[in-house]
Amino acid sequence: MSSPEERGHLLTEQANPKSQNLDQLSCLELVDLFNQEDQQTVAAIAQARQDLAQAIEIISHCLGRGGRLFYIGAGTSGRLGVLDAVECPPTFCTPPDLVQGILAGGASALLRSSEGLEDIAEDGAQAIADHRITQLDVVVGITAGGTTPYVHGALDAAQGRGGKTIFIACVPEIQVPRRADVNIRLITGPEILAGSTRLKAGTVTKMALNILSTGAMVRLGKVYGNRMVDVAVTNRKLEDRALRILRDLTDLEREAAADLLVASGQRVKLALLMHWSGLAAEPAQKLLTDHHGDLRQALAANF
């Protein structure tokens, strides 16, 4: 094995002066220090607001044209991408292949650390080939320290195929430059435990992914007001949520809302359109389809 490249200059690898006596703190002092340092995650999101907005615009545009969104990473960064991807189908009733997480080492790396695989750029490129990335797709490369070869190999391959690329890192561009359609830098400073990027870097990455996926789904018409009207009614909790959405947005009592939900085939958005338009399920669904699933547009066209 060749000697590793020096990484001590990276912001995510540096020692935090505020935690030099970490091993001497009381439990309460530990909690307070974590709380103080975690405030930087909110500030980092605010600093990256323009880039996050641009990324949402690109993602929603590509998905609206039939493309897909891929998160790719290794270790904590990759696991966070998988986590965000798997939450999209139940929240927004999206097909499983619309938003996908690609993790170095595959599914087994979710449960068992396979950190050595992050050093193989060719594996990242192969993952892009395996998923047949096209110019309609968006690939979000996630690497806290910015240097992960697996991620860079994937982004290079995606760009070679004409795909849109978004780069997320927690180090300044001057430390790790990267060509991408959007370059999102989430600067939270050195970790309390030096180099442990599952801490602030992991937290701010999860926050950013929440914003990207939710923002894109809002832009795609999968939300009405602040309600998840495309929620997949797959268990009792989600059925209750669906009924409360119908009750809150209409004048229906719970029993009538339940009947409407059944008539719509357990589809909240369709149920709302049926109620407000007076249309039966089939013509209401056609109206929705004609307007790309956007409830507001469908309603405007019907009245």
Percent of the residues in the chain that have a pLDDT greater than 90, as a whole number: 85
Answer yes or no: 118 catalytic. yes
pLDDT of residue 14: 84
pLDDT greater than 70 at residue 115: no
Tally of structural domains, the chain: 2
Q: Which of 5, 37, 57, 87 is catalytic?
A: 87
* Predicted confidence (pLDDT) per residue in 21-77, tens digit: 999 999 999 999 999 999 999 999 999 999 999 999 999 999 999 999 999 999 999
Is 228 among the domain residues?
A: no
pLDDT greater than 70 at residue 135: yes
Is 226 among the domain residues?
A: no
Note whether 220 and 293 are within 8 A (CB): yes
* Predicted confidence (pLDDT) per residue in 201-210, tens digit: 999 999 999 9
- CATH number, domain containing residue 215: 3.40.50.10490
Q: Which of 13, 37, 118, 191 is catalytic?
A: 118
> Please, which pLDDT band fits residue 143 given cuts at 50, 70 and 90?
very high
- On whether both 148 and 262 belong to a single domain, the answer is no
- On whether both 124 and 213 belong to a single domain, the answer is yes
> Please, which pLDDT band fits residue 11 given cuts at 50, 70 and 90?
confident
- On whether both 172 and 289 belong to a single domain, the answer is no
Q: What's the CA gap between 151 and 204, in Å, rounded? A: 18
CA distances from 219 to 44, 57, 75, 250 (A): 23, 8, 30, 23
Is 188 among the domain residues?
A: yes
pLDDT of residue 3: 47
Query: 3-state DSSP call for residue 1?
Result: coil
Sheet holding 138-142, edge to edge: 99-103, 69-73, 138-142, 164-169, 182-185
* Predicted confidence (pLDDT) per residue in 251-261, tens digit: 899 999 999 99
Answer yes or no: 13 catalytic. no
Is 5 among the domain residues?
A: no
- Domain interval for residue 81: 11-219
Is 3 among the domain residues?
A: no
List the Cα angle 283/284/288 in 5-degree steps: 115
pLDDT greater than 90 at residue 124: yes
